[in-house]
């Protein structure tokens, strides 16, 4: 006789499935709301001894949301310019290209590199012209 396996989602008292080991199944996350969830697997051997395994996971079936201008747990004041983008991955059979990339502001290190290069170019040009 095989072990019995009960699978629970979050704190639901009714098991998602009750099967004998070993088992292959597919978890349809489209039936779950986006956010944190817990998969709880309870196994009972033929003698009635139980083992429990819990797995925490995140579901994100809805559109991805990107926010630039404020981060998790930041302390802020004044007026905050925010850039918010949301895009979906489609129906998983076709790839949506529209809106997939989130526009972002240019990082500070890029501006520093450009200004440094321009300053060096001007210095080099002036040095070259003054030596002739």
Which pLDDT belongs to residue 54?
A: 95
Peptide bond into 17 cis (omega under 30): no
Is-contact 96 63, C-beta < 8 A? no
**Block residue for tokens 């925490």:** 56
Which pLDDT belongs to residue 70?
A: 85
Question: How do strand 4-9 and strand 35-44 relate by DSSP bridges?
Answer: antiparallel
Which residue in 57, 64, 10 sits closest to 36, CA to CA? Answer: 57
List, for the chain, all residue ranges whose pLDDT scores fall below the cut of 70.
1, 88-104, 132
- Domain positions in the chain are 4-59, 64-131
Which residue in 20, 16, 42, 18 sits closest to 29, CA to CA? Answer: 16
Is-contact 40 8, C-beta < 8 A? yes
Which pLDDT belongs to residue 57?
A: 93
Spatial separation of the C-alpha atoms in residues 79 and 65, rounded to whole Å: 21
∠ at Cα 88 (83, 92), nearest 5°? 155
**3-class SS of residue 128:** helix
Residue 38 has φ and ψ, to the nearest 5°, of -135, 130
């Amino acid at each position: 006789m095989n072990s019995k396996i009960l699978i629970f989602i979050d704190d639901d008292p009714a098991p998602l499935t009750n099967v004998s080991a070993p088992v292959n199944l597919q978890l349809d996350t489209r039936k779950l709301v986006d956010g944190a969830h817990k998969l709880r697997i309870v196994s009972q051997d033929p003698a009635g001894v139980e083992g429990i395994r819990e797995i925490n996971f995140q579901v994100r079936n809805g559109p991805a949301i990107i926010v630039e201008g404020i981060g998790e747990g930041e302390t802020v004041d004044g007026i905050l310019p925010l850039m918010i983008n949301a895009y979906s991955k489609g129906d998983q059979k076709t790839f949506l290209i529209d809106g997939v990339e989130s526009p972002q502001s240019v990082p500070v290190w890029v501006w520093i590199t450009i200004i440094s290069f321009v300053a060096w170019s001007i210095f080099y040009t002036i040095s070259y012209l003054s030596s002739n």
